[in-house]
Amino acid sequence: MDETDLFALYPRVTGSLLVYILTAPAAPVPGGPPWLPKFLECFASGLSRDLQALAHRQPNIEVELLEAPHLAPLTHPRALAQHINSFLDAHMR
C-alpha cells in the first residue's frame, strides 16, 4: 500500500491549510486486542502534539480541535461545515 507522509507534505504547502484533530475517543473494536484503546489514545496524543508543533512553526497552518469521531463528515457534518466555512471566510473569501 502506498502511503503519503503528510508531515513531509505539509511544510511544502504555501497557502492556508486547515488540519483537524478529532478528539472523540475511538469506537471500541469488537474482538480487538485489549491494548488497542490505550494505543489509539497514545497515538492521538502524539499526533496532536506533532500537529500543534507544526502549526507553531508554520503560520499558514491552522490546527482545529473538533469533538467528533474519525467519521466526522458522516456523524457531524454541520459542525464540520461550520468550521470549514469560518476558515474559508477568514482566509479565502
The closest alpha carbon to 54, from 66, 46, 40, belongs to 46
pLDDT at residue number 62: 93
Helix%, strand%, coil% for the chain, nearest 5: 50, 15, 35
Beta pairing class for 61-66 and 17-22 = parallel
**Contact predicate 19/51, CB 8 Å:** yes
Over residues 21-59, the pLDDT tens digits come to 888 887 778 898 989 888 888 988 999 999 999 999 999
